[in-house]
Amino acid sequence: MAKHRGRGIASINYPIGMNLGGDPSQALVHSNPSGKFTVSLSSIDLGQGMKSVTRQICAETLGVPVEDVYVDTADSDTGPHCMGSFASRGTHRVGNAVMAAAKEARGVMMEAAAEELEVNAADLETDGRGNIHVKGAPHRSISTKDVAIAAQFKQGKTISGRGIFLVPLSEVNPETGEMSPATCYAHACLVAEVEVDDETGEVAMVRMDSAYELGRALNPRLVEQQLVGGAWMGISHALFETPEPYYPDPAHGPRDFVEYLMPGPGDICPHDIAVLERPAADGPFGAKGPGEMCANPVLPAVANAIFNAVGVRMDELPITPEKVLRAIKAQGGARPQARR
Amino acid sequence: MLELRKDIFADERDDNLKEIGKGTQRQDMLGHVTGTSTYFDDHKLQGMLHLKVLRSPHAHARLRRIDTMEAERSPGVRRIIRGADVPRNLNTLLSLINFGKDDEPSLAVDKVRYKGEPIVAIVADSPREAFEAMAKLRVDYEPLPAVFDVEEALKPSAPVVNETYPKNTFVYHDVYDHQKLRFGDVERGFAEADHVLEQRYQMSPIEHAPTETNGSIAAPDTNGRYVVYTSTQALFFSLDTCAKILDVPSNTFHFIGGTVGGGFGGKVDTLTEPLAILGAMLTGRPVRYQLGREEEMQFGSPRGAERIYIKDGVMRDGRIVARKIRAYFDSGAYTRLSSYAVVKCVAHLPGPYTIPNVHGDVYCVFTNRTPATAMRGFGVTAMDFALECQMDKLAHLVGIDPMEFRILNAYRDGDMKAHRREAKNTALIECVQVAAEKAKWPLREEMKRMSSRKDGGGSRAAISPTPLEPVPQRAAVSQQRTTYDRAPAAIVQPPPPAPTPPPSPRPQAPSHGATRFSSVFGTRRR
């Protein structure tokens, strides 16, 4: 009886946005008279950071500091239509809508600034710190606050913008399945190392190394939050979770977190992550979306690592100690494969 | 922990940006870490009532009789709601995009199709009084044979789960019981292959397990409107679903949400809003309906189970020449969103690899279990598990390192994908190379030199001649919509006079009030 270590890998890709498209999102951006901007959305922040990435996208596009932008979400009376927060569509679809709205608002802001500075709007640029100045002549400058005051009370202009992003709906061929499912894909590869106890069938995570390609990490710390959390969920899906432990027999379903098991702090492992950025042609600043796909490679990588450790193929999820032990017994004991 | 590899694909990016790429602190961080962010359940309204539902103890049963008499008289009970009280007691979520047929009642009327299906809702002053009244409801069930296995459900002798789809499968393009993928000739590929490997994979259902269970609070507002605080992941999707079920114009509702205690796909189904609003309409009081933990875990929709068969043909040099896949999505008793995931799954085949011959048949199957719904990686997670386990087995079979085996077969820019679109912006090879580097997994030099941007296209962009099966006759819509669930329930006692509710706005027009998200969508187009 012994513990055996093994390594397994998996590589995947993942489509961004609703399959076949046809899933629009809208955004409205407007400035108050002090040059502070509000982004109005009906999109939902599930904790993934929707408000924060759209805020950064808006600030970058307007050319103002992020502190001057506030994102207001999820009120059907004030926020324009959004299909919803699912299908890894938030960053890509909503981000693009916010970018379009911010571009329109920036156009008005630059026109208003041009009128105040008595120059052509095309000759102006933003410094990202709350000022607009003549290109090559930073002293001929006006603050966004003064522009907003002038637009509101003197010029009678609304510094605001509307944005929508829609990938047109694709047809599906009934006979061949020909279709345009998505405009861009994220990618990943993950190596999992496990330790399998051939006496109890328990699988312990030892470490994970991974590479994720996401188009652009708009906020690397939010990306890290998603990838670390998603990998935890991958471990949980691989080794722990199901409301029907003897599927398709529906008996013995768990009713609470005493019976429905998930990895605790002692069950997780170090995870070393690399992020690659190959910008998507139609992503906001090239971004795709890390949300869903980060859990996916963990499940097969763990199964493949178990094979490497003890020589059994675990083809049914979740891979519980009971299943591992039965498989090892059926094989007549652990058969460790070549160490990788 | 996280390293940004700016050196890779650097020539495709402008990194000269001010706010993008910065690890700026979240706008909502302070509220979250100090416990002051407002969730739907933080709206404790004056005079708020609580709604609970009676759920079926049987997986499949006819409802012979529902006796609410004793429950009506139970202390604190304000209103009992039955299926007949729901204006449009049959819906399917994706009807908003014209995909599929209405197949699910808000409250079961003469049949239950899964254990836990809601039958009667009780609105009471407190949750305790609602539960006490629930214990006094009398339902006479006639248990029916149930089916739990997807392949059993496809047999002609299987019990019919959902009369809207009498063959226990969703109907694609008005004619097929599955979505097809045909690309090249897999049988020829298998004949040429050095090895053929066929395997079966199974994923059980998975619960979203959010910290905050599904719920909503609906309250009468001024001018005949209703304000709804909700945990939904899709504000307008839920709003329009409610407008349809309750048969009112969509601007009757003011939905407020946006801060959610974990979704992962489990808060798209609009499980609680229609009954909470109906409760508010019928009582004139704010009504809260939130699932308990056991309800969330067993009867709130999970990620559905999938059974997958993969047959691959591979050459000794590691090239995969044919991949044939048959997969069954267990949708549970109703469609919800599984029909959509099937098409997404078909689009995902054969994984991120260039294989000249691919054949896929994916089914959305009805069984007598809790309806499945979206979850993180919808349509893809289980398939990726199966595909990547299969890739490991194939590499082992031909004696090639599993990392190198992936690089060999990886799709590259310019390759033709099985859904007949050119691959662009690919990066699988680079991900494998970087993961190998991180894990100190040795790769041969020639493998390190491979690139997603090199050597794609050409013969890899070709579509091999594809034999197609004869196209069946499209019968004039073979499965008609059923009115099964709209039949009035067998009620023993007329309900006692309810407290006079304010008149709920009801338009005269028979069409539902929801705005369809698009008029160009249709079953044929999906």
CATH numbers and ranges of domains, chain B? 41-144+208-298 (3.90.1170.50), 179-205+303-461 (3.30.365.10)
Residue B200 has its nearest CB partner, among A211, A272, A315, at A315
Region of residue A233 (left: phi > 0; alpha: psi -120 to 50; beta: else): alpha
Q: What is the DSSP letter of B224?
A: G
Q: How many helices (H) and strands (E) does chain A have?
A: 6, 12
Rg of chain A over CA atoms, in angstroms?
26
How large is the average pLDDT for residues B308-318?
98
Residue A72 one-letter amino acid: D
Closest CA to A93 of A29, A184, A193: A184
What is the rounded CA–CA span in Å between residue A120 and residue A111?
Answer: 8
Tokens of B60: 């499949």
pLDDT surpasses 70 at B498: no
Average of per-residue pLDDT across A153-158: 98
**What is the mean predicted confidence (pLDDT) over A252-259?**
94
- Does A210 contact chain B (CB < 8 Å)? yes
What the block records as the tokens of B435 is 């993961």
Quick check: B21 and A87 CB within 8 A? no
Contact between B172 and A82 using a beta-carbon 8 Å cutoff = no
Average pLDDT on B416-427 reads 98
Nearest chain B Cα distance for residue A127, angstroms: 9
Helices (H) and strands (E) in chain B, counts: 13, 16
Q: What is the DSSP string of B284-330?
A: SS-EEEE--HHIIIIIS--BPPEEEEEEEEE-TTS-EEEEEEEEEEE
Find which of A5, A7, A9, A69 to mutate to test the B interface (most B CBs within 10 Å of its CB): A9
pLDDT at residue A308, rounded to an integer: 98
- pLDDT attached to residue B3: 97
Residue B218 contacts by C-beta under 8 Å, 6 or more apart in sequence?
B226, B227, B228, B229, B273, B276, B277, B279, B280, B286, B287
Interface of B with A in 472-501 (CB under 8 A): none
Within 10 Å of residue A154's Cβ, how many Cβ atoms? 11
* B324, β-bridge pairs: B311, B359
Q: Report the share of chain B in percent with pLDDT over 90.
A: 88
| Average pLDDT of chain A, as a whole number | 97
pLDDT over 80 at A228, yes or no: yes
CB contact under 8 A, B431 and A11: yes
Chain B 454-473, residues with CB within 8 Å of chain A CB atoms = 466, 468-469, 471
How many angstroms separate the CA of residue A157 from the nearest CA in chain B?
27
The tens digit of pLDDT for each residue in A45-73 reads: 998 899 999 999 999 999 999 999 999 99
Question: Looking at residues A253-282, what average pLDDT do you find?
Answer: 95
Cα–Cα distance, B229 to B216 (Å, whole number) = 6
The string of DSSP letters for B244-275 reads: HHHTS-GGGEEEE--B-S--TTTTSS--SHHH
* Rounded Cα–Cα distance for residues B8 and B13 (Å): 10
Closest Cα partner for A112 from A155, A80, A68, A53?
Answer: A155
Q: What is the pLDDT of residue B519?
A: 35
pLDDT band at B506 (very low <50, low <70, confident <90, very high): very low
Q: What is the mean pLDDT of residues A123-149?
A: 97
Structural element, H or E, at residue B241: helix B235-246
Q: Which residue would you say has higher pLDDT here, A225 or B474?
A: A225
- Length of chain B, in residues: 526
Q: Average of pLDDT values for B269-290? A: 98
**Alpha carbon of B517: minimum distance to chain A alpha carbons (Å):** 9
Q: Do B385 and A300 touch (CB under 8 A)?
A: yes
CB contacts, 8 Å: B452 with chain A: 278
Predicted local distance difference test score (pLDDT) of residue A340: 82
Q: Strand A203-213: give its sheet, edge to edge.
A: A3-15, A185-197, A203-213, A271-276, B2-4
Model confidence at B514, pLDDT cuts 50, 70, 90, reads very low
- B239/A contact by beta carbon, under 8 A: yes
Residues 6+ apart with CB under 8 A from A210: A188, A189, A190, A191, A227, A231, A271, A272, A273, A274, A297, B435, B438
